[in-house]
Structure 1
Amino acid sequence: MFEKIRRRLLLSYLIVLSLILGGFAIAVRIVFTHSLYKQQTQKLAALAQVGAANAEFDNGKLRIENDFPQDKMFKNYQELNWFDTKGNLIAKQGRDILKLPTHVKEGEQINPVGKNRIQSVTLAIINSDDKQFIGYVIASQSLEEFDETLNKLDLGLGGGIVVALIISGAGGVWLTRQAMQPIEESFERLKQFTADASHELRSPLMAIKSNAGVALKYREGMRETDAEKFQAISSATNQMTRLTEDLLFLARHDNIPNHIKETVNLSSILNNLVQLYQPQAVAKKIHLKSQFNEKLYLLGDLNQITRLFSNLIQNAIYYTPSKGIIEIIANLSVSHLVVNVQDTGVGIAPGDLENIFERFWRADKSRSYNSGGSGLGLAIAQAIAENHGGLITATSQLGIGSCFTVRLPVGSLN
């Protein structure tokens, strides 16, 4: 039980941490990308301004002064292109990275060129003398280095998140154990108290039951109303006895592996139980039938296995109305024995299926315990199955019936 809770806590902790780290990484990447892109755009804009300042209008033509540092532009994967007012290329310097446009558009753009992307900034060239528009200048730069920087950032952030999750996971294991330790200790004390209280209640209950039995056996001189009261006392005592026995069983066997192992003939157990509950089924006009192989064996505790299927059959009889059908089917499936206890009873709502194995849980909260068992039958059946390395699952439809499937590992001492 607590191992599952620890795993769920650790998983929840890692999910929350991964969301926090992921959100932080995304925020860092967005801010870094925006800052780096803005910085690169400003550099291109400055380069375009320098290019525009070195263009002049001479004799009706646009002329460019060739005094730019070529080596720096080659190093930064940059290029400058000058165009006249009609969009015709006048001059270019730097690397040939930008495809000539069919039309020149002022502003900042990003264009794909092959596998790379090219960022460009286009500025209008204004003649310094008469302030007339004389052409365009385009400063462009490959984003290959920009993308490589982002890839390195992504690898760094991703690697950091993975390392942080691994370290946090190791620390989370220790933290969950420390957090669950007081709860486990408290639960163990509660189990011990339940076992002690149930054990101590057995003696006074037996005394009440025996005295009520004696009184009911010798009714001479007893009023009819007194006999009814003693009958109620006996019935309540039986109810409390079953409850204390069930609590004692769960307190002693909850999450404790089964140590008493012997070869158990499951077919014989099921056959005996069918014969045992046949009169009760007949009295309720229920058709109880079985279908199983004669050679089904497993390794476990005979009494516990008997109680497991006894609880399931009693549960099916209790919730199956008159003229209903209860069928017990057992088969061998590779390494497991599969037993289905299916009925045509009232069924269980889909939202209640996950709660049916909880202690004292009932789908109909209005039912009193006088009308049924202690509310621990399915919880005990599940505990026994788990103690034997198996499991119980349930499927059901309201008004149609339910099917409880028990899977137990095959075993033999021979």
Structure 2
Amino acid sequence: MFTNIKYRLLLSYLGILASILAGFAIAVRVVFTRSLSQQFTDRLTTLAQGAAANAELENGQIKIESDFSISNLKLQNQALQWFNPQGKLVSQQGTDVLTLPFSPDNSVQIQTQANIRAVTLPIIGSDDHQLVGYVRASQSLEDFKETLHRLDLGLGGGIAIALIFSGIGGIVLTRQAMQPIEESFQRLQQFTADASHELRSPLMAIKSNAAVALKYSEGIRETDVQKFQAITSATNQMTRLTEDLLFLARYDKIPQHYEKVNLTLLLQDLVELYQPQAIAKKITLRTQLNQILYLSGDVVQLTRLFTNLIQNAIYYTAPLGTVDIIGIAINSDILIEVKDTGIGIAKENINKVFERFWRADESRSYWNGGSGLGLAIAQAIAHNHGGIITVSSQLKVGSCFSVRFSKNMQQFQ
């Protein structure tokens, strides 16, 4: 039980930490990408401005006096293009050029195509301030993307390393945090077991004396006989309650006697046993067991498991209702369903059905029925056998308790 809690705490801790780190990494990447992109654009703008300064208009033609080394441009995956005022290409240096058209205006234009980004600037004459033409500086985005890729690897690796070390630390901290809780729970279990065990003797004495008084009731008034019967009934109820509490306190320490169990025969015997009770309540109790189902388990505990489910179904089913016991094999698993047409369980209470002392019918008192521990015991037994017990229900329609035993428990020992 505490192992699952430890895992949930650890996973929750790691999940929250991973979310925080991921948010931080995304924020860092967004800020870094914007900054890098702006630097990239500024570098191209500076290159374009330098190229524009070396161009002038002579006799209606653009004259270019380029001081830029073509080999240097190629080395940095850059390129320069000059255009006349009509947007026609006049000259070009470098190979990483953009083929997109630009708008013939005086604004700075930033364009991206495939794996290339370009900045286009108008060339304004220094004397007459007339439009001479345009210059476009472009550069491959390979280095830009490679830088982002290294950043992603660094951030991802950092998050992974942080989660690994945090997980190791989380395991240690979770164990330390859960240790006092486990010790407290074990003390509570031991107290419950000891108290239940100690209650056996006085309850047995009360029951024995009441039974003797009822057996030799000739000298007892009729009203006293009724009182002794009430005492006997209450004692029986208290005995069942203490036995159930003792079982739940020690169920993980109870020795398991696994053997090959004919689950079909076990269920048929239980149905035959409770058929008179169902008939007395005018309930149809039937089975759908069309194949022989074998399970490796403790026959006593399995009997108690399905006894609790069948008793629960009969109790909460109104007269003229039905209770179905269904057993099927699904691949290598065994699924047993106990369906009833009883009062059902509200959706908000579905998660409470396996809680100790919880009842769907709050008006049911301890003295009129079971101890309120039947489903908790059933769940404990199912878990002991590697099984899972679930419930689906609808108010005024009925409930279905499903017990699934995994294939691992079907290897006969």
TM over 0.5: yes
What is the RMSD of the two structures over their aligned residues, measured on CA atoms? Answer: 2.6
1:198 paired residue number: 196
C-alpha contact (below 8 Å) 2:388/2:403 kept by paired residues: yes
Structure 1 residue 243 and structure 2 residue 241: aligned? yes
Once the 2 structures are TM-superposed, how far is the Cα of residue 191 of structure 1 from its aligned partner? Answer: 0.6
Once the 2 structures are TM-superposed, how far is the Cα of residue 219 of structure 1 from its aligned partner? Answer: 4.5
Give the SS at the match of 2:146. helix
What residue identity is the alignment partner of 2:233?
S
Give the SS at the match of 1:150. helix
Range 74-83 or range 291-300, more displaced: 291-300
CA change 1:102–1:274 in 2 (3 A) is: closer
Once the 2 structures are TM-superposed, how far is the Cα of residue 335 of structure 1 from its aligned partner? Answer: 4.6
Range 17-26 or range 282-291, more displaced: 282-291
CA change 1:249–1:34 in 2 (3 A) is: same
1:137 paired residue number: 135
Structure 1 residue 126 and structure 2 residue 127: aligned? no
1:109 paired residue number: 110
Give the SS at the match of 2:115. strand
Give the SS at the match of 1:185. helix
Once the 2 structures are TM-superposed, how far is the Cα of residue 102 of structure 1 from its aligned partner? Answer: 6.1
1:31 paired residue number: 31
2:163 paired residue number: 165
CA change 1:284–1:100 in 2 (3 A) is: closer
CA change 1:119–1:332 in 2 (3 A) is: closer
Structure 1 residue 282 and structure 2 residue 283: aligned? no
Once the 2 structures are TM-superposed, how far is the Cα of residue 25 of structure 1 from its aligned partner? Answer: 1.3
CA change 1:370–1:100 in 2 (3 A) is: closer
Once the 2 structures are TM-superposed, how far is the Cα of residue 367 of structure 1 from its aligned partner? Answer: 3.5
CA distance in 2, matches of 1:334, 1:138: 69
Structure 1 residue 259 and structure 2 residue 260: aligned? no
1:97 paired residue number: 97
Give TM-score scaled by structure 1 length: 0.89
For 1:247-396, list aligned pairs within 5 A.
247-253=245-251, 255-256=252-253, 258-292=255-289, 296-331=293-328, 335-396=332-393
CA distance in 1, matches of 2:195, 2:80: 92
CA distance in 2, matches of 1:142, 1:271: 78
Structure 2, unaligned runs of 5 or more: none
Once the 2 structures are TM-superposed, how far is the Cα of residue 175 of structure 1 from its aligned partner? Answer: 2.7
2:52 paired residue number: 52
What residue identity is the alignment partner of 2:111?
I
CA change 1:338–1:82 in 2 (3 A) is: closer
C-alpha contact (below 8 Å) 1:288/1:327 kept by paired residues: yes
CA change 1:320–1:140 in 2 (3 A) is: same
How many percent identity over aligned positions? 62
CA change 1:287–1:101 in 2 (3 A) is: closer
Paired residues in the alignment total 409
Give the SS at the match of 1:346. coil
Give the SS at the match of 2:17. helix
Give the SS at the match of 2:208. helix
Give the SS at the match of 1:327. strand
Give TM-score scaled by structure 2 length: 0.89
CA change 1:54–1:366 in 2 (3 A) is: farther
